[in-house]
Amino acid sequence: MSVLIVGSIALDTVKTPVEEHNDLLGGSASYAAAAASYFSPVRLVGIVGSDFPESEFDFWKSRKIDTAGVQRIEGKTFRWSGEYSWDMNTRETHSTELNVFEKFEPKLPPAYRKSDFVLLANIAPSLQSHVLEQMEKPRFVVADTMNLWIDTARKDLDALMPNVDLLILNDSEAREMTKETSLIKAGRSIRKMGPRYVAIKKGEHGALLFGDNEFFSCGAYPLEDIHDPTGAGDTFAGGMAGYLAGTIGGRITFTDLRKAMIYGSVLASFCVEAFSLDRLRNLTMDEINERYETFKLMSQFEVSE
Ligand code: AMP
């Protein structure tokens, strides 16, 4: 089954203590779509300007990502630039230029409206809701958000919450949203706002998953070389949503979500190994499954002789 993904499509400028690259393909929807495409067909919804490289449409086509929902209008593509410090975790945003994004009103092509799986990747919660309003009863809705919306669009975010099955956010966002210092309390408290399940990402320390009296915790893949952490969270969300859409035919169980979280973590581990989403352009399922098996081995603690 395909997954509809809406979010930002950007040209990013990223600086780390050792490298800097300009005008790279970025944006929450770009990362999420590339990750999801390893598990299911993707229907992409977003907006780009006249400066957006045609070659990226060829890339999407090569990954069977349907771009009928990507609007191209006169003007400049959304641009974001940021710089990482030596820990490759702390990030300063230098600029965010909305450009064509300012006029973005997601309009779903008729064929998209019946999609069963939806990933509302990180964009303004009012736009996320606008997409859901155009859909005919999706089976499973995954949403991502960021601190900007918790600070500036809390009402819109609260209105979206009851329509979300799985909310994905990072640890600092979960704390900010709930004013809880404990992530366990924060996860439980966000579930009360509406989402049936909540996944809290902790960067290099893994992720937590909360359900109804159900809890799961996983580590992160032990990577030696991180080149560009940008988009890891979007990739995690795309991997989870893609796995669920492509693999689970019936009702989604907590066990399915646990597996999805490991696949999300695997895809995120590849994402940070190169700038932009370059490492996600041509992975193989063997590479993905090998890391999945490593996760399994890492979490065993009673090993039979
Ligand atoms: P992450 O590293 O997961 O926070 O995602 C980074 C991506 O988010 C970059 O590729 C940016 O283009 C994109 N981005 C940055 N700010 C925003 C925003 N306000 N809305 C949507 N996408 C954004």
Please write the tens of the pLDDT for every residue from 235-268. Answer: 999 999 999 999 988 899 999 999 999 999 999 9
Q: Which two tokens stand for residue 238?
A: 């795309």
- Residue ID of nearest Cα to ligand 1 atom 11: 27
Cross-strand pairs, 200: 169, 208
Distance 301 CA to ligand 1 centre (A): 37
pLDDT digits (tens, 9 = 90+) for 138-181: 999 999 999 999 999 999 999 999 999 999 999 999 999 999 99
Read off the pLDDT band of 301 (50, 70, 90).
confident
pLDDT of residue 303: 67
Residue ranges around ligand 1 (CB below 6 Å): 8, 10, 12, 26-28, 80, 96, 122-123, 148, 230-234
Q: How far apart are the first and last CA of the chain?
A: 41
Cα 186 to ligand 1 centre (Å) = 23
pLDDT tens digit sequence for 51-102? 999 999 999 999 999 999 999 999 999 999 999 999 888 999 999 999 999 9
What is the CA(93)–ligand 1 centre distance, in A?
Answer: 10
Q: Tell me the mean pLDDT in the region 170-195.
A: 98
Cβ neighbours of residue 102 under 8 Å, at least 6 residues apart? none
User: CA nearest 199: which of 171, 172, 234, 167?
Assistant: 167
- Supply the pTM of this predicted model: 0.96
Beta strands in 65-122 (DSSP E): 65-72, 78-84, 91-97, 117-120
In sequence order, the β-bridge partners of residue 43 are 4, 66
Q: Whose CA is nearest to atom 5 of ligand 1?
A: 231
Beta partners for residue 145, in sequence order: none
Residue 305, pLDDT score: 62
Distance 224 CA to ligand 1 centre (A): 24
Report strand pairing: 166-170 vs 197-201.
parallel
pLDDT of residue 300: 86
Which positions ≥6 away from 204 have C-beta within 8 Å? 89, 220
Residue 12 has pLDDT above 90, yes or no: yes
Pocket test for ligand 1, best of 11, 15, 25, 28 (most atoms within 8 A of CB): 28
Distances in Å between the Cα of 50 and the Cα atoms of 5, 31, 73, 106 are 22, 21, 6, 18
Residue 57: name the closest of 41, 76, 72 by CA: 72
22-50 pLDDT tens trace: 999 999 999 999 999 999 999 999 999 99
Residue 303 CA, ligand 1 centroid: distance in Å: 41
Tokens of 66: 């349907």
Strand boundaries in the chain, DSSP class E: 3-6, 10-15, 20-26, 42-48, 65-72, 78-84, 91-97, 117-120, 140-144, 166-170, 197-201, 207-211, 214-218
- Which atom of ligand 1 has the smallest separation from the CA of 78? 12
Pull the structure tokens for residue 185.
Answer: 């309390």
- In the sheet with 214-218, reading across from the earlier edge strand, the strands are 65-72, 42-48, 3-6, 117-120, 140-144, 166-170, 197-201, 207-211, 214-218
